[in-house]
C-alpha cells in the first residue's frame, strides 16, 4: 500500500498538471480565436481594397467634373435669347477653375457634360451656346 503522504503528493502533482493542461487549452483557444479574427480582418481589408480600386477612379472623375457642375450652378443663368460663344464659355470655365484652384477638364469633356445639364440647359450650335448667359462673378 502507498503511504497517504505519497498519495497526496501525486494528487497535487496530477492537479497541477491538469491545471497546466487546462491553461494550455485556454491559451490555444485564445491563439486560435486571434488567428481566426486576423484572417477575417485580412479578408475585410482585401475586400475594401478591391472596392476602393473600383470606386477611386469614379471619385476622381466626380472631383474632375465637379468644376463643371459648380461652374454651371454659379456662373450660368437661364436666358432663352442668351448666347455665349463656344470660346468665351470655355475660357470663362477655365478661368473659373484656375481661380478655384482646380484643374479644368479638356474642352470636349466640358462641352459634353455642360450640354447634358438642366436649368439652364445650354445648347451648342455652330460655335455658340444658346439658352443661357454668363453671370458676373460674385467677387472680382
Query: How does pLDDT run along the chain (140 residues), one tens digit per residue?
Result: 656 677 788 888 888 888 888 888 888 888 888 888 878 878 877 777 666 666 566 566 667 788 899 999 999 999 999 999 999 999 999 999 999 888 889 999 999 999 999 989 999 999 999 999 999 876 55
The predicted model scores a pTM of 0.56
State how far the Cα of 79 lies from the Cα of 45, in Å rounded to an integer. 51
SS (H, E, C) 61-83: HHHHHHHHHHHHHHHEEEEEEEE
Measure Cα distances from 22 to 11, 13, 25 in Å.
16, 14, 5
Q: For the chain, which domains are there?
A: 65-134 (1.10.10)
Please report the pLDDT score of residue 43 as a whole number.
80
Please report the pLDDT score of residue 1 as a whole number.
60
Amino acid at each position: 500500500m502507498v503511504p497517504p503522504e505519497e498519495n497526496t503528493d501525486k494528487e497535487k502533482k496530477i492537479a497541477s498538471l491538469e491545471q497546466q493542461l487546462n491553461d494550455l487549452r485556454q491559451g490555444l483557444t485564445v491563439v486560435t480565436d486571434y488567428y481566426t479574427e486576423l484572417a477575417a480582418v485580412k479578408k475585410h481589408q482585401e475586400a475594401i481594397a478591391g472596392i476602393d480600386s473600383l470606386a477611386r477612379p469614379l471619385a476622381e472623375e466626380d472631383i474632375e467634373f465637379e468644376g463643371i457642375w459648380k461652374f454651371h450652378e454659379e456662373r450660368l443663368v437661364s436666358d432663352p435669347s442668351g448666347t455665349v460663344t463656344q470660346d468665351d464659355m470655355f475660357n470663362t470655365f477655365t478661368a473659373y477653375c484656375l481661380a478655384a484652384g482646380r484643374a479644368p477638364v479638356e474642352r470636349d469633356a466640358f462641352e459634353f457634360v455642360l450640354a447634358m445639364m438642366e436649368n439652364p440647359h445650354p445648347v451648342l450650335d455652330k460655335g455658340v451656346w444658346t439658352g443661357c448667359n454668363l453671370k458676373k462673378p460674385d467677387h472680382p
